[in-house]
Amino acid sequence: MIVYNRDLSWLGFNERVLHEAACADVPLLERFRFLAIFSSNLDEFFRVRYPELAALSALGKKTKRKWLGEDEEIVAAKVQEEIRRQQTRFGEILQKQLIPALHQQGVTLCYHQPFPEEHATEVRQLFLSEILAYLQPVLLSERDATVFIPENNQLYLVCLLQQTGQDVLQYAILKIPAGPVPRLWSLSPIEGHQYIVFLDDMIRAHLHYIFPGFECLGCYAIKLNRNADLHLEERFEKNILSAIERQLKRRDFGAPSRLLYEDTMPDNVLLFLSSYLGISYDEMFCGGRYHNLKDLMDLQVHDPNLCFTARTPLLPARLSTCTDLFRAIEERSFLLHFPYESYSPVLIFFSQAAVDPFVTEVKVTLYRVASESIIVRALMNAARNGKKVTVFLELKARFDEANNIRWGREMEQAGVQIIYNIPEVKVHSKIALVHRQSKGGSRSYAILSTGNFNEKTAGIYTDHTLFTADGPTCRELGTLFLFLEKGKQPKGKHASGFEKLLVSQINMIDRFEALIAGEIQKMSEGRSGMIRIKLNNLEEPYMISLLYKASRAGVRIQLLVRSICCLVPGVQGQSEHIEVRRIVDRYLEHSRFFIFGSDEEATVIMGSSDWMTRNLRRRVEVCTVLDEAEHKNVLIEYFGIQWRDTDKAVRLMPDMTQQRLPETEGRHNAQQEIFDYLKHKG
C-alpha cells in the first residue's frame, strides 16, 4: 500500500501557510500573521516531530522502513532540505516583499538595519530604564558546562569578548528577555513615519553597559529547540497531576533537537558551542539574525485597512430573541458553525446551567481551555450554586498542560469534581451534558462539538457544534460519562449500547468501516457510491486502506484535508477515484465531518476525531450521526462550497505537490461564501 510520509506531508501544509504570506491579495498585516504562524508551526515541528525522526536514525533498517515507509536517511534528508528551502523562502517574502510594502505604508521595521540616529537617546533611555534590569549576563567556561543550560525555544545572544589590555578571548551569554518585556518596540514617529525595532537590536547596541571593561568582538543570536513531547509512564504514576508538573519542569531542559544560529557566526564560535552544549553538527542549523519570528504576530501597527475586513458573527433568527436556551433546545436541535456564527449560545448554555434552579448536574470534557475562560467561570459558579459539576480535564493537551492544571486547581477549590485522565489515553472529545429536574419531569441537554470549549479559538477556528435534547443521544452521552468517571473504556456488551454516537476504541472504526462497505456495495449493485470527508489529518493506515479499497471499487471520494495527508491520490489501480484538496485562509479549518452517500439518503456524521492512529486507537473521541434533514443538508452544502473554492484551495497531486485550481467558473472563496450562505439562510 502506497502512503506518503507524514512529516513531509505536514511540511507541505506549512508551505501552504507560507503561500498565504506571499499572496498579494491578502492584507499586509495578515501576511505578517501568516509568517508568524509558519514560524510557530516550524518551532513546534522541531520540538515534537523532529526529535522522533532523529531518534529513528539510530534504529536498524527494517525498523526504519516499518515506521517511515522508506529509508530513514532519505526521509531525514528530504525533511532537512525542505525546511531549508522553506526558510529561505520565508526570508525572501519578509525582506523583499513585506518589509518594503510596510515602509510604503509609513512604517519601518528595522530589520538588519540600525535604528535612526534620531532615536539613539530614546532607545538608550528605554534600554536603561525598562530592559537592563531583566538581563543576566553569564561568562562561559569549557571547564564548567553547568553555568549555562539553554532553555527550550528561548532567545540568546552569544558574545565574543576581549578584556581591555589582554589577549584572552572570553565567551558570554545573554538571554533576550522577550516575554517580561516586548520583543518589538514602537519608537516615536519621525515626520509621521513609524519605526519598529527588535529588542535584540536594542540590547546589541548597548553591550558596553552590560560588559564594562570588555570589547565585544562579535555578537550572535542562537536558539535551542528541545524535545518537548511529554512521555508519561502513567502505569507507574498514581498521581498524574504531580507527574505532569514534574515533566513540565523538565520540558525546557529536554534533549536538544536543533540549535539555530546566526549565519554570521564564525567557525570558532560554532566549535565552542558544539563542545560546550554537547550538540553535534547535524543538530545545528544556520539561520538569520532574528529567531522566534512568531513575534511578528505582535507587530505594533494599528491600521484596520491592512487587516481582513471584520465580520460580525451571525446569530440565527430563532436564537436572537431567545430568553431560555434550554427551552429552545427542547423545541428543536440546532447546529451552529463557528466562527461564522456567534459563540454566545455556548457561553449561555453553561452560564444558564450555573444559575437555573432546576439544573442538578453538569458534565463536560475540557481539552484546551482559554486562559481567561467564561465557560470555566460558569462551571465554578454552578458548583457554588449547589449543582453537581463533573469536569473531565485532559492534562496531556500538548503545550496547554500548565494552563489546564491551573484551571483544574481553581475548579477544585470551587467544589467542581475534577477527573484528570485515563491512563495511557487522551480524552479529546468535545462533549457536555446538563441534567435538569422540573415539575414537568427530568430532561437532559447536550452539546457535541468538533472544537474545544474555548471562546478564544472559536473566533479563528472553523467548527460545528450541535445542541440537542434528543433522548437517545443524551442517554448515550450519560453512559459514556459514567465510564469516563470510572477511568476505563466500556467493553463487551457495554460497548454495544452506542448507536447515535461513534466512540473511538469502542465502535468508531467498525461504524466507519461499515459505511465505507455500504458505498462499495452500491457500486456492486450498479448504483453510485460516494464519500465526502473533511478532516484536519489523515494518517491511520487501516482507514487509508479502506478508502483505497473503495476507490478500486469505483466509489467517488472527495477529501478536504487541512494538514497531514498520508493517502496518495490519483494513483492508477489504487486511488484514481480519490481527490484531495487543502484550504488555508483567514480561519483555521478545524472541523471534522463525514458524508457517506448522496442526496437525501446520505449519512452525515460530525465530531472530534481525525483519522490518525492516535485519534482512533489511543484517544477518547466522539462523533454523532445527524438525523435532522436540515442539519445534514447544511453540512452537505458546506462541503460543496468548500469543494468549489478556487481562491484558497489547492489540489494534492499524485507526487503530493500542491496545485492551484483553475478558475474556470469564476473565483470562489469558500470562507466568504459560507458566511454569505449562513447569513441568507438565517
| Residue 235 confidence class, pLDDT cut points 50, 70, 90 | very low
Q: Is the pLDDT of residue 59 over 90?
A: no
Q: Are 79 and 53 in contact, with CB atoms under 8 Å apart? A: yes
Q: What is the pLDDT of residue 560?
A: 98
Q: What is the pLDDT of residue 320?
A: 86
Average pLDDT, the chain: 89
Q: What is the pLDDT of residue 128?
A: 97
Q: Are 546 and 518 in contact, with CB atoms under 8 Å apart? A: no
Q: What is the pLDDT of residue 233?
A: 42
Q: What is the pLDDT of residue 166?
A: 84
Q: Is the pLDDT of residue 347 over 70?
A: yes
> What is the CATH code for 117-289?
3.30.1840.10
Indicate the DSSP class of residue 418. Answer: E
| Residue 307 confidence class, pLDDT cut points 50, 70, 90 | very high
Q: Between 412 and 407, where is the model more confident?
A: 412
Could you tell me where in the chain the CATH 3.30.870.10 domains are found? 317-488, 502-681
Q: What is the pLDDT of residue 232?
A: 42
Under CATH, what is the fold of the domain 502-681? Endonuclease; Chain A (3.30.870)
Q: What is the pLDDT of residue 238?
A: 42
Q: Is the dihedral angle over the CA atoms 334, 338, 343, 348 positive or is it negative?
A: positive
Q: What is the pLDDT of residue 396?
A: 65
| Residue 110 confidence class, pLDDT cut points 50, 70, 90 | very high
Model confidence pLDDT, tens digit, residues 420-478:
766 667 788 999 999 999 887 899 999 999 999 999 999 999 999 999 999 999 999 99
Q: Of the ranges 11-15, 143-147, 295-299, 453-457, which one carries the lowest mean pLDDT score?
A: 143-147
Q: Of the ranges 8-17, 40-49, 144-153, which one carries the lowest mean pLDDT score?
A: 144-153
Model confidence pLDDT, tens digit, residues 76-103:
788 889 998 999 999 999 999 999 999 9
Q: Which of the residues 428, 464, 590, 668 is marked catalytic?
A: 428
For the question of residue 231 being annotated catalytic, the response is no
Q: What radius of gyration do the chain's Cα atoms show?
A: 27
What would the 3-class secondary structure string for 631-642 be? HHHHHHHHHHHH
Torsion on CA atoms 391, 397, 403, 407, rounded to nearest 10 = 0
Percent of the chain with pLDDT over 90: 71
Indicate the DSSP class of residue 297. Answer: G
Q: Between 501 and 71, where is the model more confident?
A: 501
Could you tell me where in the chain the CATH 1.20.58.310 domains are found? 2-111
Q: Is the pLDDT of residue 251 over 50?
A: no
Model confidence pLDDT, tens digit, residues 322-338:
899 999 999 999 999 99
Across the range 559-581, mean pLDDT stands at 97
Q: Are 50 and 603 in contact, with CB atoms under 8 Å apart? A: no
Which residue in 427, 455, 461 sits closest to 591, CA to CA? 461
| Residue 653 confidence class, pLDDT cut points 50, 70, 90 | very high
Which residue in 123, 199, 129 sits closest to 157, CA to CA? 199
Q: How far is CA 521 from the centre of its chain?
A: 37
Angstrom distances, CA of residue 629 to CA of 337, 469, 600, 632: 16, 16, 8, 5
Q: Between 79 and 512, where is the model more confident?
A: 512
Across the range 295-314, mean pLDDT stands at 95
Q: Is the pLDDT of residue 237 over 80?
A: no
Q: What is the pLDDT of residue 66?
A: 56
Q: Is the pLDDT of residue 416 over 70?
A: yes
Q: What is the enclosing helix (H) or strand (E) of 114?
A: none
CATH class of 2-111: mainly alpha
Q: Of the ranges 169-183, 233-247, 634-648, which one carries the lowest mean pLDDT score?
A: 233-247
Q: What is the pLDDT of residue 308?
A: 97
Q: Which amino acid is at 615?
A: N
Model confidence pLDDT, tens digit, residues 363-396:
999 988 888 899 999 999 999 999 999 999 877 6
Neighbours of 472 (CB within 10 A): 13
| Residue 236 confidence class, pLDDT cut points 50, 70, 90 | very low
CATH class of 317-488: alpha beta
Could you tell me where in the chain the CATH 3.30.1840.10 domains are found? 117-289
